[in-house]
Structure 1
Amino acid sequence: MSILVVEDHNATALILQALLRKLGFSDVDEAKDGPSALTKMREKEYELVISDWSMEPMTGYELLKEVRADRKLKKTRFIIVTATWNAANTQAAKESGVNAYIVKPFSAETLKAKINEAFAA
Protein backbone atom coordinates (compact mmCIF):
# COMPACT_ATOMS: atom_id res chain seq x y z
CA MET A 1 0.00 0.00 0.00
CA SER A 2 1.31 3.45 -0.87
CA ILE A 3 0.95 5.97 1.95
CA LEU A 4 1.60 9.71 2.05
CA VAL A 5 2.37 11.23 5.45
CA VAL A 6 1.68 14.97 5.57
CA GLU A 7 3.33 16.47 8.64
CA ASP A 8 5.19 19.74 9.13
CA HIS A 9 7.14 18.67 12.24
CA ASN A 10 10.12 16.48 11.38
CA ALA A 11 10.15 14.50 14.63
CA THR A 12 6.46 13.65 14.37
CA ALA A 13 6.83 12.67 10.71
CA LEU A 14 9.73 10.34 11.59
CA ILE A 15 7.76 8.73 14.43
CA LEU A 16 4.74 8.20 12.21
CA GLN A 17 6.88 6.66 9.47
CA ALA A 18 8.57 4.37 12.02
CA LEU A 19 5.16 3.22 13.30
CA LEU A 20 4.03 2.51 9.73
CA ARG A 21 7.19 0.48 9.06
CA LYS A 22 6.62 -1.42 12.31
CA LEU A 23 3.18 -2.30 10.97
CA GLY A 24 4.75 -3.60 7.75
CA PHE A 25 4.20 -0.66 5.39
CA SER A 26 7.26 0.13 3.27
CA ASP A 27 5.92 2.42 0.52
CA VAL A 28 5.70 5.59 2.60
CA ASP A 29 6.37 9.09 1.28
CA GLU A 30 6.33 12.40 3.13
CA ALA A 31 5.13 15.93 2.41
CA LYS A 32 5.79 18.90 4.68
CA ASP A 33 2.56 20.77 3.90
CA GLY A 34 -0.73 20.62 2.04
CA PRO A 35 0.40 22.19 -1.25
CA SER A 36 3.36 19.81 -1.57
CA ALA A 37 1.06 16.90 -0.66
CA LEU A 38 -1.31 17.81 -3.49
CA THR A 39 1.63 17.97 -5.91
CA LYS A 40 2.81 14.51 -4.83
CA MET A 41 -0.72 13.11 -5.03
CA ARG A 42 -1.03 14.33 -8.61
CA GLU A 43 2.27 12.66 -9.51
CA LYS A 44 1.72 9.31 -7.74
CA GLU A 45 -1.40 7.43 -6.73
CA TYR A 46 -1.61 6.95 -2.95
CA GLU A 47 -4.04 4.59 -1.31
CA LEU A 48 -3.88 6.42 2.01
CA VAL A 49 -3.04 9.93 3.22
CA ILE A 50 -2.28 10.50 6.90
CA SER A 51 -2.26 14.24 7.54
CA ASP A 52 -1.72 16.46 10.53
CA TRP A 53 -4.56 18.92 11.18
CA SER A 54 -2.48 21.95 12.20
CA MET A 55 -0.20 23.03 9.38
CA GLU A 56 0.55 26.15 7.38
CA PRO A 57 -0.20 27.41 4.79
CA MET A 58 -2.94 24.78 4.38
CA THR A 59 -4.44 22.81 7.28
CA GLY A 60 -5.06 19.09 7.08
CA TYR A 61 -8.77 19.89 6.98
CA GLU A 62 -8.26 22.19 3.99
CA LEU A 63 -6.17 19.49 2.33
CA LEU A 64 -8.96 16.98 2.93
CA LYS A 65 -11.47 19.31 1.27
CA GLU A 66 -9.15 19.81 -1.73
CA VAL A 67 -8.67 16.05 -2.08
CA ARG A 68 -12.41 15.36 -1.88
CA ALA A 69 -13.10 18.09 -4.49
CA ASP A 70 -10.58 16.63 -6.97
CA ARG A 71 -12.15 14.09 -9.32
CA LYS A 72 -8.95 12.00 -9.52
CA LEU A 73 -8.07 12.11 -5.80
CA LYS A 74 -11.45 12.02 -4.07
CA LYS A 75 -11.49 8.27 -3.38
CA THR A 76 -8.12 8.33 -1.57
CA ARG A 77 -8.50 7.12 2.04
CA PHE A 78 -7.70 9.98 4.43
CA ILE A 79 -6.81 9.99 8.13
CA ILE A 80 -6.41 13.23 10.07
CA VAL A 81 -4.09 13.35 13.07
CA THR A 82 -4.39 16.08 15.69
CA ALA A 83 -2.84 16.98 19.03
CA THR A 84 -6.13 18.28 20.40
CA TRP A 85 -9.56 16.73 20.26
CA ASN A 86 -12.26 19.15 19.27
CA ALA A 87 -15.83 18.02 18.64
CA ALA A 88 -16.47 20.78 16.08
CA ASN A 89 -13.33 19.89 14.11
CA THR A 90 -14.16 16.19 14.26
CA GLN A 91 -17.65 16.86 12.93
CA ALA A 92 -16.36 19.15 10.16
CA ALA A 93 -13.82 16.53 9.09
CA LYS A 94 -16.49 13.80 9.06
CA GLU A 95 -18.80 15.97 6.98
CA SER A 96 -15.93 16.57 4.54
CA GLY A 97 -15.29 12.86 4.11
CA VAL A 98 -12.46 11.94 6.46
CA ASN A 99 -12.13 8.16 6.85
CA ALA A 100 -10.63 8.21 10.36
CA TYR A 101 -9.41 10.64 13.02
CA ILE A 102 -6.53 10.08 15.47
CA VAL A 103 -5.60 12.13 18.55
CA LYS A 104 -1.89 12.34 19.45
CA PRO A 105 -0.15 10.62 21.10
CA PHE A 106 -1.10 7.21 19.76
CA SER A 107 0.36 3.73 19.56
CA ALA A 108 1.08 1.46 16.62
CA GLU A 109 -2.01 -0.53 17.59
CA THR A 110 -4.21 2.57 17.44
CA LEU A 111 -2.72 3.52 14.07
CA LYS A 112 -3.38 0.02 12.73
CA ALA A 113 -6.98 0.15 13.99
CA LYS A 114 -7.54 3.54 12.35
CA ILE A 115 -6.05 2.32 9.05
CA ASN A 116 -8.41 -0.65 9.19
CA GLU A 117 -11.30 1.72 9.98
CA ALA A 118 -10.38 3.90 6.99
CA PHE A 119 -10.56 0.94 4.62
CA ALA A 120 -13.70 -0.52 6.17
CA ALA A 121 -15.71 2.56 5.26
Structure 2
Amino acid sequence: MSVGVPVLDADHKTLVGLVNNLHRSIGDAEEYATLGSVLQALQDYADHHFAREERVMEVCRYPSLDTHARIHRRLALEVRELKTRYDGDRSTVRAKDCLDFLHKWLFEHICSTDMDYRAWVVGHPEAASAAESVSLTDSRPGKAQLDWKALRILVVDDNVNFAQIMRTILEGVGVVDIRTAADLDGAKAILAGTELDIVVSDWHVGPESGLDLVAWIRRQPELAKIPVLVLSGHERVASRDVALSAGADEFMEKPISARGLLICLSRLARKGG
Protein backbone atom coordinates (compact mmCIF):
# COMPACT_ATOMS: atom_id res chain seq x y z
CA MET A 1 0.00 0.00 0.00
CA SER A 2 1.25 3.47 -0.88
CA VAL A 3 1.40 6.40 1.53
CA GLY A 4 1.80 8.76 -1.41
CA VAL A 5 5.51 9.56 -1.05
CA PRO A 6 7.75 7.33 -3.23
CA VAL A 7 10.74 7.50 -0.87
CA LEU A 8 8.64 6.37 2.09
CA ASP A 9 7.07 3.61 0.00
CA ALA A 10 10.58 2.42 -0.90
CA ASP A 11 11.49 2.34 2.80
CA HIS A 12 8.42 0.24 3.53
CA LYS A 13 9.38 -2.16 0.76
CA THR A 14 12.87 -2.51 2.26
CA LEU A 15 11.52 -3.16 5.75
CA VAL A 16 9.12 -5.81 4.47
CA GLY A 17 11.95 -7.34 2.45
CA LEU A 18 14.09 -7.64 5.59
CA VAL A 19 11.28 -9.47 7.38
CA ASN A 20 11.02 -11.85 4.42
CA ASN A 21 14.79 -12.40 4.59
CA LEU A 22 14.41 -13.34 8.24
CA HIS A 23 11.69 -15.83 7.40
CA ARG A 24 13.90 -17.51 4.80
CA SER A 25 16.75 -17.86 7.29
CA ILE A 26 14.89 -20.23 9.62
CA GLY A 27 16.85 -23.49 9.86
CA ASP A 28 19.69 -22.13 7.74
CA ALA A 29 23.24 -23.14 8.68
CA GLU A 30 24.08 -19.47 9.27
CA GLU A 31 20.76 -18.57 10.86
CA TYR A 32 22.37 -16.70 13.75
CA ALA A 33 24.55 -14.52 11.51
CA THR A 34 21.59 -13.86 9.21
CA LEU A 35 19.34 -13.04 12.17
CA GLY A 36 21.87 -10.60 13.59
CA SER A 37 22.26 -8.80 10.28
CA VAL A 38 18.49 -8.60 9.78
CA LEU A 39 17.94 -7.28 13.31
CA GLN A 40 20.70 -4.69 12.89
CA ALA A 41 19.34 -3.66 9.49
CA LEU A 42 15.82 -3.42 10.90
CA GLN A 43 17.11 -1.24 13.72
CA ASP A 44 19.01 1.01 11.30
CA TYR A 45 16.10 1.29 8.89
CA ALA A 46 13.48 1.74 11.60
CA ASP A 47 15.37 4.63 13.19
CA HIS A 48 16.10 6.18 9.80
CA HIS A 49 12.65 5.61 8.34
CA PHE A 50 10.81 6.86 11.43
CA ALA A 51 12.89 10.06 11.44
CA ARG A 52 12.21 10.51 7.73
CA GLU A 53 8.50 9.88 8.16
CA GLU A 54 8.23 12.30 11.07
CA ARG A 55 10.03 14.97 9.06
CA VAL A 56 7.44 14.60 6.30
CA MET A 57 4.56 14.75 8.78
CA GLU A 58 6.07 17.86 10.37
CA VAL A 59 6.41 19.65 7.03
CA CYS A 60 2.87 18.64 6.05
CA ARG A 61 1.52 19.73 9.46
CA TYR A 62 -0.01 16.36 10.26
CA PRO A 63 -2.04 16.95 13.46
CA SER A 64 -1.34 13.52 15.00
CA LEU A 65 2.44 13.72 14.63
CA ASP A 66 3.10 13.43 18.37
CA THR A 67 0.95 10.31 18.70
CA HIS A 68 2.57 8.73 15.65
CA ALA A 69 6.04 9.56 16.97
CA ARG A 70 5.28 7.85 20.29
CA ILE A 71 4.31 4.69 18.40
CA HIS A 72 7.58 4.92 16.47
CA ARG A 73 9.60 5.20 19.66
CA ARG A 74 7.89 2.17 21.17
CA LEU A 75 8.44 0.04 18.08
CA ALA A 76 12.07 1.12 17.72
CA LEU A 77 12.67 0.31 21.39
CA GLU A 78 11.31 -3.20 20.97
CA VAL A 79 13.61 -3.82 17.99
CA ARG A 80 16.58 -2.54 19.99
CA GLU A 81 15.66 -4.82 22.88
CA LEU A 82 15.59 -7.83 20.54
CA LYS A 83 18.99 -6.83 19.17
CA THR A 84 20.37 -6.37 22.70
CA ARG A 85 19.18 -9.85 23.66
CA TYR A 86 20.81 -11.24 20.54
CA ASP A 87 24.09 -9.48 21.28
CA GLY A 88 24.07 -10.76 24.85
CA ASP A 89 23.34 -14.40 24.03
CA ARG A 90 22.55 -15.44 20.47
CA SER A 91 21.00 -18.70 21.64
CA THR A 92 18.14 -16.82 23.36
CA VAL A 93 16.81 -15.36 20.10
CA ARG A 94 15.73 -17.41 17.09
CA ALA A 95 14.41 -16.18 13.76
CA LYS A 96 11.02 -17.80 14.27
CA ASP A 97 10.69 -16.12 17.68
CA CYS A 98 10.96 -12.68 16.07
CA LEU A 99 8.63 -13.16 13.12
CA ASP A 100 5.28 -12.80 14.86
CA PHE A 101 6.36 -9.58 16.51
CA LEU A 102 7.93 -8.15 13.36
CA HIS A 103 5.00 -9.07 11.15
CA LYS A 104 2.65 -7.48 13.64
CA TRP A 105 4.34 -4.13 13.98
CA LEU A 106 5.57 -3.81 10.43
CA PHE A 107 2.47 -4.83 8.56
CA GLU A 108 -0.09 -3.45 11.00
CA HIS A 109 1.83 -0.20 11.34
CA ILE A 110 2.43 0.24 7.62
CA CYS A 111 -0.99 -0.93 6.45
CA SER A 112 -3.01 0.80 9.15
CA THR A 113 -1.33 3.51 11.21
CA ASP A 114 0.71 4.95 8.33
CA MET A 115 -2.39 5.22 6.17
CA ASP A 116 -3.76 7.80 8.62
CA TYR A 117 -1.33 10.49 7.43
CA ARG A 118 -1.67 9.72 3.72
CA ALA A 119 -4.30 12.38 3.03
CA TRP A 120 -2.02 15.03 4.52
CA VAL A 121 1.04 14.24 2.39
CA VAL A 122 -0.36 13.21 -1.00
CA GLY A 123 0.23 16.07 -3.40
CA HIS A 124 2.00 18.22 -0.83
CA PRO A 125 4.72 20.18 -2.67
CA GLU A 126 7.33 19.69 0.07
CA ALA A 127 6.65 16.07 1.06
CA ALA A 128 9.15 14.43 -1.30
CA SER A 129 12.00 16.85 -0.57
CA ALA A 130 11.38 16.52 3.18
CA ALA A 131 11.67 12.73 2.93
CA GLU A 132 14.83 12.91 0.85
CA SER A 133 16.45 15.34 3.32
CA VAL A 134 16.87 12.52 5.87
CA SER A 135 19.68 10.21 4.76
CA LEU A 136 20.55 6.78 6.16
CA THR A 137 24.22 7.53 5.54
CA ASP A 138 24.02 11.04 7.05
CA SER A 139 25.72 12.79 4.18
CA ARG A 140 27.07 16.17 5.21
CA PRO A 141 25.23 19.24 3.87
CA GLY A 142 26.82 20.47 0.68
CA LYS A 143 28.50 17.16 -0.06
CA ALA A 144 27.65 15.69 -3.45
CA GLN A 145 25.11 12.89 -3.12
CA LEU A 146 26.17 9.47 -4.34
CA ASP A 147 24.23 8.21 -7.34
CA TRP A 148 23.34 4.77 -6.00
CA LYS A 149 21.39 3.90 -9.14
CA ALA A 150 24.57 4.10 -11.20
CA LEU A 151 26.54 1.64 -9.06
CA ARG A 152 27.31 -1.87 -10.32
CA ILE A 153 27.99 -4.25 -7.44
CA LEU A 154 28.98 -7.92 -7.25
CA VAL A 155 28.12 -9.84 -4.06
CA VAL A 156 30.02 -13.11 -3.56
CA ASP A 157 28.56 -15.34 -0.85
CA ASP A 158 27.57 -19.00 -0.80
CA ASN A 159 24.80 -18.25 1.70
CA VAL A 160 21.78 -17.43 -0.46
CA ASN A 161 19.87 -15.87 2.43
CA PHE A 162 22.67 -13.48 3.31
CA ALA A 163 23.13 -12.54 -0.34
CA GLN A 164 19.42 -11.71 -0.41
CA ILE A 165 19.81 -9.48 2.66
CA MET A 166 22.55 -7.62 0.82
CA ARG A 167 20.29 -7.24 -2.20
CA THR A 168 17.44 -5.92 -0.05
CA ILE A 169 19.67 -3.30 1.57
CA LEU A 170 21.21 -2.23 -1.74
CA GLU A 171 17.90 -2.05 -3.57
CA GLY A 172 16.57 0.02 -0.68
CA VAL A 173 18.92 2.88 -1.60
CA GLY A 174 18.34 2.51 -5.33
CA VAL A 175 21.09 0.17 -6.55
CA VAL A 176 19.77 -1.61 -9.64
CA ASP A 177 22.73 -3.55 -11.06
CA ILE A 178 23.45 -6.20 -8.42
CA ARG A 179 25.20 -9.39 -9.49
CA THR A 180 25.64 -12.40 -7.20
CA ALA A 181 27.94 -15.41 -7.22
CA ALA A 182 28.00 -18.40 -4.87
CA ASP A 183 31.57 -19.50 -5.65
CA LEU A 184 34.84 -18.06 -6.89
CA ASP A 185 34.53 -19.44 -10.42
CA GLY A 186 31.16 -17.75 -10.80
CA ALA A 187 32.57 -14.51 -9.43
CA LYS A 188 35.53 -14.60 -11.81
CA ALA A 189 33.23 -15.24 -14.78
CA ILE A 190 31.14 -12.19 -13.87
CA LEU A 191 34.21 -10.04 -13.29
CA ALA A 192 35.69 -11.09 -16.63
CA GLY A 193 32.57 -10.19 -18.58
CA THR A 194 31.03 -7.28 -16.71
CA GLU A 195 32.08 -3.76 -15.77
CA LEU A 196 31.71 -3.38 -12.01
CA ASP A 197 32.26 -0.63 -9.47
CA ILE A 198 32.53 -2.62 -6.22
CA VAL A 199 32.99 -6.24 -5.16
CA VAL A 200 31.65 -7.45 -1.80
CA SER A 201 32.90 -10.92 -0.89
CA ASP A 202 32.46 -13.15 2.11
CA TRP A 203 35.72 -14.43 3.61
CA HIS A 204 34.51 -18.04 3.46
CA VAL A 205 32.79 -18.89 0.18
CA GLY A 206 32.00 -22.56 0.66
CA PRO A 207 35.34 -24.38 0.91
CA GLU A 208 37.09 -21.47 -0.82
CA SER A 209 38.52 -18.23 0.52
CA GLY A 210 37.31 -14.84 -0.56
CA LEU A 211 40.86 -13.63 -0.01
CA ASP A 212 41.92 -15.80 -2.95
CA LEU A 213 39.39 -13.90 -5.05
CA VAL A 214 40.84 -10.61 -3.83
CA ALA A 215 44.34 -11.75 -4.79
CA TRP A 216 43.10 -12.86 -8.23
CA ILE A 217 41.43 -9.48 -8.80
CA ARG A 218 44.61 -7.63 -7.90
CA ARG A 219 46.58 -9.71 -10.44
CA GLN A 220 44.27 -8.75 -13.32
CA PRO A 221 45.45 -5.46 -14.87
CA GLU A 222 41.94 -4.49 -15.98
CA LEU A 223 40.39 -5.30 -12.59
CA ALA A 224 43.15 -4.44 -10.14
CA LYS A 225 41.69 -1.11 -9.06
CA ILE A 226 38.15 -2.33 -8.30
CA PRO A 227 37.39 -1.62 -4.62
CA VAL A 228 36.75 -4.78 -2.60
CA LEU A 229 34.93 -5.16 0.72
CA VAL A 230 35.47 -8.43 2.61
CA LEU A 231 32.88 -9.67 5.12
CA SER A 232 33.29 -12.41 7.70
CA GLY A 233 31.17 -14.07 10.34
CA HIS A 234 34.19 -15.96 11.70
CA GLU A 235 35.73 -13.24 13.83
CA ARG A 236 38.08 -15.63 15.63
CA VAL A 237 39.86 -16.38 12.37
CA ALA A 238 39.26 -13.26 10.36
CA SER A 239 40.84 -9.93 11.07
CA ARG A 240 40.90 -6.57 9.40
CA ASP A 241 44.69 -6.58 9.10
CA VAL A 242 44.77 -9.94 7.31
CA ALA A 243 42.02 -8.90 4.89
CA LEU A 244 43.64 -5.57 4.10
CA SER A 245 47.05 -7.21 3.69
CA ALA A 246 45.49 -9.58 1.16
CA GLY A 247 44.40 -6.61 -0.94
CA ALA A 248 40.92 -5.80 0.34
CA ASP A 249 40.03 -2.12 0.67
CA GLU A 250 37.62 -2.59 3.59
CA PHE A 251 36.63 -5.28 6.09
CA MET A 252 33.40 -5.75 8.07
CA GLU A 253 32.31 -8.45 10.48
CA LYS A 254 28.94 -10.14 10.30
CA PRO A 255 26.32 -9.41 11.51
CA ILE A 256 26.54 -6.28 9.41
CA SER A 257 24.95 -2.92 10.07
CA ALA A 258 22.92 -1.67 7.11
CA ARG A 259 24.01 1.89 7.83
CA GLY A 260 27.64 0.85 8.30
CA LEU A 261 27.55 -1.14 5.07
CA LEU A 262 26.15 1.75 3.05
CA ILE A 263 28.63 4.23 4.51
CA CYS A 264 31.45 1.83 3.64
CA LEU A 265 30.17 1.29 0.10
CA SER A 266 29.74 5.03 -0.36
CA ARG A 267 33.36 5.50 0.64
CA LEU A 268 34.50 2.77 -1.77
CA ALA A 269 32.40 4.17 -4.62
CA ARG A 270 33.99 7.58 -4.23
CA LYS A 271 37.42 5.97 -4.04
CA GLY A 272 36.81 3.91 -7.16
CA GLY A 273 35.34 6.83 -9.03
* Fold agreement, TM-score > 0.5: yes
Identify which range, 1-10 or 54-63, moves more after superposition. Answer: 54-63
Contact 1:23 1:108 (8 Å CA) reproduced = no
Within the candidate set 20, 23, 44, 2:194 is matched to 44
Within the candidate set 165, 168, 174, 1:24 is matched to 174
Within the candidate set 247, 250, 260, 1:100 is matched to 250
1:25-104 correspondence to structure 2 within 5 Å:
25-86=175-236, 89-104=239-254
- RMSD of equivalent CA atoms: 1.7
Identify which range, 95-104 or 36-45, moves more after superposition. Answer: 95-104
Structure 1 residues 88 and 55: alpha-carbon distance in aligned structure 2, compared to 1, 3 A threshold: closer
Q: Which amino acid aligns with 1:19?
A: I
**Structure with greater strand percent:** 1
Contact 1:83 1:105 (8 Å CA) reproduced = yes
Contact 1:22 1:108 (8 Å CA) reproduced = no
- CA displacement, residues 68-103 of structure 1 (integer Å, 9 cap, x when unaligned): 111111111100111132586421221222111111
Segments of 4+ in structure 1 off by > 2 A?
84-90, 116-121
Find the structure with the greater CA-based Rg.
2
Contact 1:46 1:76 (8 Å CA) reproduced = yes
Alignment partners' CA distance in 2, 1:57 and 1:40 = 20
Q: Does 1:114 align with 2:264?
A: yes
Alignment partners' CA distance in 1, 2:239 and 2:222 = 25
**Structure with greater helix percent:** 2
Alignment partners' CA distance in 2, 1:59 and 1:80 = 10
Q: Secondary structure at the match of 2:204?
A: coil
Contact 1:48 1:76 (8 Å CA) reproduced = yes
Identity %: 26
Structure 1 residues 33 and 87: alpha-carbon distance in aligned structure 2, compared to 1, 3 A threshold: closer
- CA displacement, residues 23-72 of structure 1 (integer Å, 9 cap, x when unaligned): 22111011111111011100001110011111134311110011011111
Within the candidate set 159, 167, 181, 1:9 is matched to 159
Contact 1:101 1:114 (8 Å CA) reproduced = no
Q: Secondary structure at the match of 1:109?
A: helix
